[in-house]
Amino acid sequence: MKNFSKNIILWIIIGLLLIALFNLFQGNSSNRAASEISFSDFIAATESGNVAEVNIIGNNVKGYFDDGRPFSTYSPDYPNLVDKLNQNGVKISAEPSNTTMHPILSVLLSWFPMLLLIGVWIFFMRQMQSGGGKAMGFGKSKAKLLNEAIGKITFDDVAGIDEAKQELEEVVEFLKDPKKFSRLGGKIPTGALLIGPPGTGKTLLARAIAGEANVPFFSISGSDFVEMFVGVGASRVRDMFEQGKKNAPCIIFIDEIDAVGRHRGAGLGGGNDEREQT
């Protein structure tokens, strides 16, 4: 719960920083849109009647020419500026000058984009170190390792599918003593396909095999292999079997595998799909 609250606060801070950065750049872009002219050119344009309206903010003057082009200039102490604008029919609006920004705040704003990038980089690095590369773990398997020592399921908990249990007893014997099979030259079973409607006990039967053999049980859904990015599904398959090899012997149960399998070349437009490589 503490990690969740920390992540929420961190994301809120990052969001506020991004909003502030957007507003800062938006303000700079609006200032850049107005052409900077000298004060003498501004007076000359006013006397020639080419200025339509101005907005005076302290010593900063922003406005528009008759053709709609924006401009901005810096006005020195010119006491007759308002009278000259009125004489030439210029629409005048004024605002109080902004308070002078503190030097420290000015430095922080100038370094703000760099600090933001450094903060985001540190966040991703901490996520990768603490969470095993979660920030960049697109190709990591989503398989869940169930601890069969707690809530252990055996064949005694599975009822109504005696034929299936008999077929899978050989798998249990292999997981318990694989050397007995290899010593006699027996063919090692590499997998079993459980077919049936939903709710008929396929997952329960797979957990019972792991419980009878006292081996780790990995569970994953077939739809977890299909992602928007190309190659992510294949990477997750490789990572899943790497985890299985590290915990061998074990059971890897892929639920709803039909969600990712289909006939090759059936895609529209001639493009390949992640599901065609299952």
Average pLDDT (194-218) is: 86
pLDDT band at 154 (very low <50, low <70, confident <90, very high): confident
Between the CA atoms of 124, 128, 130 and 134, what dihedral angle is there, to the nearest 10 degrees? 100
Percent of the chain with pLDDT over 90: 0
Model pLDDT, residue 132: 47
Spatial separation of the C-alpha atoms in residues 198 and 37, rounded to whole Å: 75
Spatial separation of the C-alpha atoms in residues 71 and 234, rounded to whole Å: 57
Model pLDDT, residue 235: 78
Model pLDDT, residue 274: 56
Model pLDDT, residue 203: 86
Spatial separation of the C-alpha atoms in residues 168 and 191, rounded to whole Å: 10
> What is the average pLDDT score of the chain?
75
Question: Taking a C-beta distance cutoff of 8 angstroms, is the pair 33, 23 a contact?
Answer: no
Which runs of E-coded beta strand occur in 112-242? 144-146, 217-221
pLDDT top residue among 277 and 77: 77
Average pLDDT (163-167) is: 85
Could you tell me the pTM of the whole model?
0.46
Spatial separation of the C-alpha atoms in residues 101 and 107, rounded to whole Å: 10
Say if domain 144-277 classifies as CATH 3.40.50.300: yes
Q: What is the pLDDT of residues 64-106, one digit of tens each?
A: 998 888 998 888 877 788 888 888 888 888 887 665 555 666 6
- For the chain, the distance separating the N- and C-terminal CA atoms, rounded to the nearest angstrom, is 38
Spatial separation of the C-alpha atoms in residues 265 and 70, rounded to whole Å: 59
Model pLDDT, residue 148: 56
pLDDT top residue among 270 and 157: 157
Pairing of strands 91-95, 51-57: parallel
Contacts of residue 85, defined as CB under 8 A and 6 or more positions apart, other chains included, come to 46, 51, 54, 92
